[in-house]
Amino acid sequence: MRATVPFFSDYGRENRTLTTSEYHLVTMKKLSILFAALFLLYSCEAAPDTGREFLENLSEYCGYSYEGRTTEFSLGAADEEHPLEDPRMLMVLEECTEDEIRIPFYVDEDRSRTWILQMRDDRLHLSHDHRYPDGTEYDQNMYGGYSDARGTGLKHYFPADDFTITERPQRNINVWTMEIDPEDEKFYYRLYLEDVLRFEATFDLSDPRPIP
């Protein structure tokens, strides 16, 4: 088999007839580039099975609330008080379905926060829902992101999605993670800014309590 293809020499573009071996070599290189691009595209998204597996593993703790505390904090100015620095925390696993888990997250007496884990188009998505006592949404609400390729049945990473970045461009450096540690019976919620851990809340899964 022979094929005439464009060829760039020192004198510019020319047409050159390839031998069979050269033709196959060029074809293989093109296919390799195509497969590499497809693999990169696929690997940027977590497999659907890991998202559903994570929801299934977390739903085993549903029906109870769990106390937590701040175990890493580096947010805001050093001389400013921050509500997440040293509060009493409670995560409430009240609503669990096959495709969605809603987790109200109490900080002392503040009950404005809810984490929403949801399967969207076979991808696991995390949203942060902030509301006033009357149900009115906060500005720039429902920020979060889709799980990336690092997701497993026990841990997921959620880089800020397009909606989040459009609403607040400063969040383009945000990556949230959630992790279940069945061995130590802990649940971790973390926030990374530019790959640096800035906040971590740790919840004790070994001591389930009634839903308040």
Tell me the per-residue pLDDT of 14-50, one tens digit each, with 9 for 90 and over. Answer: 455 556 665 455 445 444 444 443 333 344 455 668 9
Q: Are residues 64 and 116 in the same domain?
A: yes
Q: Are residues 54 and 129 in the same domain?
A: yes
Does 212 map to a domain?
no
Does 155 map to a domain?
yes
Q: Are residues 89 and 164 in the same domain?
A: yes
Q: Is the pTM of this model over 0.75?
A: yes
Q: Are residues 28 and 132 in the same domain?
A: no
Q: Are residues 88 and 127 in the same domain?
A: yes
- Backbone φ and ψ for 167, nearest 5 degrees, come out as -70, -35
Note down the domain range covering 39.
Answer: 3-43
Q: Are residues 130 and 172 in the same domain?
A: yes
Instruction: Identify the bridge partners of residue 78 per DSSP, sorted by sequence position.
Output: none
On whether the CB atoms of residues 96 and 107 are closer than 8 A, the answer is no
Q: Are residues 129 and 194 in the same domain?
A: yes
Burial class (CB in 10 A: 0-12, 13-18, 19+), 51: buried
